[in-house]
Amino acid sequence: MNDQTPIKEIDLNKQSWTSPKDKSDRFIPRNVQSNLYQLFMSEENCQGNTYNNLLQSSILGKSPAINQKLFNYKTENKQNEMNKIINNGLNFSNTPTKVEPEKPPRNINKRPYKVLEAENLQDDFYLNLLDWSPFNALAVGLENSVLIWSGHTSKVSRLCTLEDPDMVCSVAWSQRNQHLSVGNTMGDVDVWDVVKQKVIRKWNGHQGRIGSLAWNNYLLATGSRDRNILVRDVRCPNESIQKYVGHKQEICGLKWSFDEQLLASGGNDNKLFIWSLKNQGELTHFSQHQAAVKAIGWSPHQHNIVASGGGTADRCIRFFNTQTIEQVECIDTGSQVCNLMFSKNSNELVSTHGYSLNQIIVWNYANMSKVATLTGHTQRVLYLSGSPCGQNIVTGAGDESLRFWSVFPSSNAKNNHGITRAETIDLR
Q: DSSP of 270-322, one letter per residue? A: S-EEEEETTTTEEEEEE---SS-EEEEEE-SSSTTEEEEEE-TTT-EEEEEET
CA distance 335 to 134: 31
Helices 50-60 + 32-41 axis angle, to 10: 120
- What's the average model confidence in pLDDT over 81-96? 46
CA distance 182 to 359: 27
Report yes or no: 169 and 211 within 8 Å, Cβ to Cβ. Answer: yes
Buried residues in 26-52 as b, exposed as e (16+ CB within 10 A) = eeeeeeeeeeeeeeeeeeeeeeeeebb
**Using one digit for the tens of pLDDT, what is the confidence trace for 358-398?**
999 999 999 999 999 999 999 999 999 999 999 999 999 99
Domain map of the chain by residue range? 35-69, 114-425
Name, in order, each residue with C-beta under 8 angstroms of 83's C-beta and a sequence gap of 6 or more. none
Residue 118 pLDDT > 50:
yes
Would the CA dihedral through 402, 354, 216, 145 be positive or negative?
negative
pTM of the model: 0.74
**Using one digit for the tens of pLDDT, what is the confidence trace for 215-226?**
999 999 999 999
Please tell me the CATH superfamily of domain 114-425, with its number.
YVTN repeat-like/Quinoprotein amine dehydrogenase (2.130.10.10)
Report yes or no: 173 and 128 within 8 Å, Cβ to Cβ. Answer: no
CA distance 413 to 397: 31
**Using one digit for the tens of pLDDT, what is the confidence trace for 308-333?**
999 999 999 999 999 999 999 999 99
| Spatial CA neighbour of 381 closest among 407, 369, 399 | 399
**Using one digit for the tens of pLDDT, what is the confidence trace for 18-51?**
333 443 443 444 444 444 444 444 444 444 455 5
pLDDT given for residue 37 in this prediction = 44
pLDDT given for residue 106 in this prediction = 79
Residue 325, CB-side half-sphere exposure with 13 Å CA sphere:
9
